[in-house]
Every structure is written in C-alpha cells, then in structure tokens.
Structure 1
Amino acid sequence: MAEYDTIRTVGVSGARAAQIDEGLRAHMNKVYGTMSVGMLITALAAWAFAGLSVTSDPSQAAAQLGPDMYLTSLGHAIFVSPLKWIIMFAPLAFVFGLSAMINRMSAATAQLVFYAFAAVMGLSLSSIFLVYTTTSIAQVFLITAIAFAGLSLYGYTTKKDLSGWGTFLMMGLIGLIVASVVNIFLASSAMTFAISVIGVLIFAGLTAYDTQKIKNTYIQMAMHGDQEWLGKAAIMGALSLYLDFINMFLMLLQLFGNRE
C-alpha cells in the first residue's frame, strides 16, 4: 500500500520531495509491518490461552463449559474468576499508558511495549475461540483483512481531506462505548446488532482517517529529520491501525460469526 506516489509538499524542491516520498514509503512499511507483527502475536496468544483453558478430561476440570467440555484452572481464572476484569481492562491500561509515556520512551522500548500490549490483547480475546467456531473466526478475519486493506489504501491514496471526519468519528466512538456499557446490563440482542453495524461503519471510517493522518503527520514532520520521533510515530500509527482492525474484526464477528 505504501508503494503509491504521495502528494507533494508545497514549496519543496523536486529532489527533497522525492526524498520525503521515499522516507514516507519506508515509514508506512514500518507502520504496517509493526502492526502485522502485533496481530500475529495477538492471534498466537489468543489461540494458545484458549487451548490451555479447555479440557475434555473431567479430572482436570475446574468448571463445566458444555457437554464433554470443561474449563481448566487457568480457564476458570481467565473467564470466571474476578481476574477476568483485570484481563478485560488491561489492554485499555496499556493503550493509555503507552500514549501518555511515549515521549519518555525510546522507539525500541515503545515497540516492546506495543508487542506486550498485543500479547495481553490476545489473552483478552482468547474467549472468542470458546464462543465461535474456528472456521467462522478465520472467515471473518479474512473479510476484515480485505476490508481493512481497501480502506487503508483509500486513506493513503485519496486527495480528499479526511480530517473533517475526525470529530464525527470520535463522537460516534464515544456513543458506541456508552451504548456497549449500557447493553452489558440490558443484554438486548437488537441493541447488540445495532452496535455491531454502527461499529463496523465507525471503524471503517477510522481506518481511512487514521491512515491519512499517519501519512500527513510524516510529511509535516519529515522536514525536521527527527528519526527518533519518527520511530515513535510509526509505533503509535501501528497502534491506531491495530485497534481499528481488531475492533472492526470483533464487530464483524458478532454479525457473521457462527457460535459453538
């Protein structure tokens, strides 16, 4: 996706513009590469913890999950005990912590924190393997990947300014979070469906918006040549797109996933 020509910076010579274009391609490749490694860590962690959480041997069971399916002690701790609330909110703490402390970290440290966050997110998402069939998870993941690629490509190549989308999308995201919290208590299937549909649209818009924002931020800051800052910017860009992908995947899984 980063192989397309970029917009030229006004007032920059041709040689300098070409240098910025080359740097931008490398920057975007680092963003997508870091995000992809994070996704792989998340997938492996979710699969591994799900596998360790379930057993068919009643003698090793801490709780029964279904016919011939039991939770191990680890599974009981992750999904049933009060520890589940810590696991649920730990990724959020990582996001806020990384955003708040990024300026005090080196780019290498920020990257390690991002990968640790991806592993914790995998632990948090491991329950999807207990709720949905593996086939439907794979199918929805593929659908999400195709949609994400198209939306990110649009955000990268479009000449349209998407900055105006930011306020609207953030308001929609806040409303989505509030509605999701309320629905924890209401447990309304109709509301769950509406949240999922609206969520897909919001995170689709955020994917294009965030991609263009990452691109424009690089173009604006490349003039200063601060490589350490650009390294941190690549990590934060990867985090933004990672969150867009994960949330769009979860919304689509609620819509199209086949339950066990």
Structure 2
Amino acid sequence: MAQFETVRRTSAGVQSAEIDAGLRAHMNKVYGLMAIAMVITGIIAYVVGTDAAVVINAMKQGMDPASAQTAIIPPSVIAALFFSPLKWVIMFAPLAVVFAFGAMLNRMSTSTATMVFYGFAALMGLSISWIFAVFTGISIAQTFFVTAIAFGGLSLYGYTTKRDLSGMGAFLVMGVIGILVASIVNIWLASPALHFAVSVIGVLLFAGLTAFDTQNIKNTYLQVRSQPGGEVMAEKMAISGALNLYLDFLNMFMFLLQLMGNRN
C-alpha cells in the first residue's frame, strides 16, 4: 500500500500543503463521525441497560417483572428484548448490518450512508445494553477511560508511523474471524478458560486493527485525493473509516470489560 511520502511525491499538480490540509480535514471528519456514533451507542445502551437492570433485580427478588418501576422502557419491552428469542436477533443483527453496509456503501448517497451508520450505532447500543445490567457503572467508566487512552495512542501511532502496516491486515482479519467463531461456540460451551483466552486475544487483535485501520484510512485518502471524483470518494471513505475505527474501539472496550469489569 502506498505510503504517505510516496503519494505526496507522485501527486501531480497538487501542492503538499493542500494535501496536508485535506488529510487533516478528512481525519477530523472520520473521528467526528466516530465520536457521534459512540455517543448514540452510549445513550441507547445506558437507557435500555439501566431499565433492564431494574427488571432483572425485580425478578431476582421474586417479583413480577411487569411491576418493575423502569424509567423509560416498559418492563414488557425489556422482557421481550432480553428473555425471548428476540435477543438472538438483537445479538447478531449488527453483524448482518455491517456486511450489508459494506456491500451497498458505493450505491448510497453520502447522507444516506451517514444515517445508516448512525442507525447501526443505535442498534449496537441496544445489542450491548446488557453490560449495564451485569457490570458496575464504575467499572464500565474505568474500562471506557482505559480504552480511550489505548485507542488514542494506537491510532496516533498508525497515523504517524513510517512503517508499512498493510502486511498485518490479513493476519488480523483472520484472527477476528477466529475469535468470532470461538465466541459463538462458547455461548453453548460456557468455558471460562476459552472466554478468558478470547478476551485477551480480542484486545490484542483490535489494538492492532486500530493502528492498521488508521494508517489505511490515511493512505486511502491520499490515493483517491488526486483522482477524478476523488472528493466524493473521500466522503464515503470517511464514513467507512469511521465505521472501522468505531468497531475497533467498541470491540476493544468490550473485551477489556470482560477482563477488567466488576460484576453486579
């Protein structure tokens, strides 16, 4: 994959200062889209998860779940989301949306793709809302803080390093597929040892993907910048890049939470 300095030297008719300014604006947009998606995910997860915790506590006390005093979500809806076959749809729907979004991105307008991305973030918030019913709020906040620091450092490394990280891509993707399969299998095996191993490997894989994806976003922009229609392509690449970094952050957070989180 072309590196930053190579593309700068071969981009005919485009001044280096203009490229630098365009790249900064592009990366700012990527991080901005990602940040908005994270806020959406956090709000949905918190609202649904805290109400789910109320319903679950009522059930533990032998009370009728319908009598639980939830803040926003009706207890009947919580019961359907967490204790009916619908929970499997919520669990796997984000994965289906990611694949569909990647396949259809080039056929979408930029505004449509942005809205689909934000809709996916809301669906993901629903999918991970259970963490607020399982882990203490303090441990969730601490894990998020640790993840944010690690993500920032890894993304900065991916952006600034002169080392070509493209060779890591295939290895990291195969690793993600492996832990995805292992995680699904462990739903039925319920092996603590496998759960711990998947969590550790998952943190390492998504740490590597953070640096890899950041460099890939930068290089992709530099490649398409001087091509005909490059600005339009860059708009969609920003959304795609934001999705990749969003998934890196969220998965690293979830795996770290399995290792660091204190359960209620």
Q: Above 0.5 in TM-score?
A: yes
Q: For 1:152 and 1:25, how far apart are their aligned partners in 2?
A: 14
Among residues 123, 127, 137, which one is paired with 1:124 in the alignment? 127
Aligned-pair Cα RMSD in Å: 1.9
Match of 2:257 in 1: 253
Please identify, of 76-85 and 147-156, the stretch whose mean Cα deviation from structure 2 is larger.
Answer: 76-85
Quote how far apart the aligned CAs of 1:226 are.
2.4
The change in CA–CA distance for 1:94 and 1:64 in structure 2 (over 3 A counts) is same
The change in CA–CA distance for 1:239 and 1:220 in structure 2 (over 3 A counts) is same
CA deviations over 1:127-161 (Å, ceiling 9, x no partner): 00000000100000000000000000000000000
Q: Is the 8 A contact 1:62 1:73 kept in 2?
A: no
Match of 2:10 in 1: 11
Q: For 1:89 and 1:207, how far apart are their aligned partners in 2?
A: 23
Q: Does 1:230 align with 2:234?
A: yes
Quote how far apart the aligned CAs of 1:51 are.
3.0
Instruction: Give TM-score scaled by structure 2 length.
Output: 0.89
The 3-state SS of whatever aligns with 1:9 is helix
Q: Does 1:163 align with 2:178?
A: no
Match of 1:58 in 2: none
The change in CA–CA distance for 1:253 and 1:54 in structure 2 (over 3 A counts) is closer
What 5-or-longer segments of structure 1 have no aligned partner? 1-5, 56-60
CA deviations over 1:191-224 (Å, ceiling 9, x no partner): 1111100000000000000000000000000011
The change in CA–CA distance for 1:124 and 1:16 in structure 2 (over 3 A counts) is same
Q: Is the 8 A contact 1:106 1:228 kept in 2?
A: no
The 3-state SS of whatever aligns with 1:126 is coil
Please identify, of 157-166 and 80-89, the stretch whose mean Cα deviation from structure 2 is larger.
Answer: 80-89
Quote how far apart the aligned CAs of 1:100 are.
0.9
Q: Is the 8 A contact 2:80 2:86 kept in 1?
A: yes
Q: For 1:172 and 1:164, how far apart are their aligned partners in 2?
A: 14
Q: Does 1:199 align with 2:193?
A: no
Q: For 1:139 and 1:197, how far apart are their aligned partners in 2?
A: 18
Q: Does 1:66 align with 2:60?
A: yes
Match of 1:38 in 2: 37
Q: Is the 8 A contact 1:136 1:257 kept in 2?
A: yes
Q: Is the 8 A contact 1:54 1:75 kept in 2?
A: no
Among residues 239, 244, 248, which one is paired with 1:244 in the alignment? 248
Q: For 1:13 and 1:179, how far apart are their aligned partners in 2?
A: 48
Q: For 2:172 and 2:56, how far apart are their aligned partners in 1?
A: 43
Identity of aligned residues (%): 59
Q: Is the 8 A contact 2:14 2:226 kept in 1?
A: no
Quote how far apart the aligned CAs of 1:52 are.
3.3
Q: For 2:62 and 2:14, how far apart are their aligned partners in 1?
A: 67
The 3-state SS of whatever aligns with 1:137 is helix
Q: Does 1:88 align with 2:82?
A: no
The 3-state SS of whatever aligns with 2:87 is helix
1:34 corresponds to which letter in structure 2?
Answer: L
Quote how far apart the aligned CAs of 1:26 are.
0.3
The 3-state SS of whatever aligns with 2:41 is helix
Task: Give the paired residue count.
Answer: 250
Q: For 2:176 and 2:52, how far apart are their aligned partners in 1?
A: 32
Instruction: Give TM-score scaled by structure 1 length.
Output: 0.91
Q: For 1:85 and 1:13, how far apart are their aligned partners in 2?
A: 52
What 5-or-longer segments of structure 2 have no aligned partner? 69-74
Quote how far apart the aligned CAs of 1:10 are.
2.2
Q: For 1:180 and 1:27, how far apart are their aligned partners in 2?
A: 35
The 3-state SS of whatever aligns with 2:84 is coil
1:184 corresponds to which letter in structure 2?
Answer: I
Q: For 2:53 and 2:142, how far apart are their aligned partners in 1?
A: 23
